[in-house]
Chains A and B, each alone.
Chain A
Amino acid sequence: RKEVEQDPGPFNVPEGATVAFNCTYSNSASQSFFWYRQDCRKEPKLLMSVYSSGNEDGRFTAQLNRASQYISLLIRDSKLSDSATYLCVVQSSASKIIFGSGTRLSIRP
């Protein structure tokens, strides 16, 4: 079983829709969590950190559930420009940073 698992998608949703995806992790000692966005043939870019209390940045909301060992990302009022691959990242030590395989999101007009 992979340490960090994501549904690969693709999620294909209409513009303006709300979409959510989850990521599960196996190491209960994990300390820090992030969502990264990666566009085709580009490097990953930090979208947001994920905190235990949950956090929101505009249309994006990230939540962490330590008991069930998953993190989630919710995108409201989706835009065409949100089309990308979203990578879940889990850190359990200074060096141990594990990426999920990514969830592909496609927003259609």
Chain B
Amino acid sequence: GAGVSQSPRYKVAKRGQDVALRCDPISGHVSLFWYQQALGQGPEFLTYFQNEAQLDKSGLPSDRFFAERPEGSVSTLKIQRTQQEDSAVYLCASSLGAGNGYTFGSGTRLTVV
């Protein structure tokens, strides 16, 4: 597609519920990133894929967070047993490669109640 597409746009989850957030990057973009952005803060790195390989997951805050990109295109970020502190905007970005600019999706605003 023309841009990075994320769904759902908004998600309200009850504490303890599992959620799955989807990112559809720009076609042909090798690099894919997930970021978490809390209100009033800059995006915080979660994980990075190069094609289907998850090369860096050092930013995932706990083992409840899991990301995959099995065919090197669409990626899913899964959060198990959601907690209130998981409430944030989750941004996906893709790029042709290192040193190029990154195009962000509109994000998924997750609210855990």
Interface size class of A (residues with CB under 8 A): 20 to 34
**B91 x A44 contact (CB < 8 A):** yes
**A44 x B48 contact (CB < 8 A):** no
Least CB distance, A18 to chain B, in whole angstroms: 24
**A94 x B107 contact (CB < 8 A):** no
Interface residues of A in 50-102 (CB under 8 A from B): 87, 91, 93-102
Which partner residue on chain B sits nearest A88 by CB separation?
B42
Interface residues of B in 13-50 (CB under 8 A from A): 31, 33, 35, 40-45, 48, 50
**B55 x A95 contact (CB < 8 A):** yes
Partner of B105, one of A43, A49, A98, A102: A43
Judged by a CB distance under 8 angstroms, whether B66 is at the interface is no
Partner of B42, one of A49, A93, A99: A99
**A46 x B55 contact (CB < 8 A):** no
Docked Cα-Cα span, A98 to B16, in Å, equals: 30
Judged by a CB distance under 8 angstroms, whether A32 is at the interface is yes
Judged by a CB distance under 8 angstroms, whether B1 is at the interface is no
Least CB distance, A44 to chain B, in whole angstroms: 5
Interface residues of B (CB under 8 A from A): 31, 33, 35, 40-45, 48, 50, 55-56, 91, 97-99, 101-107
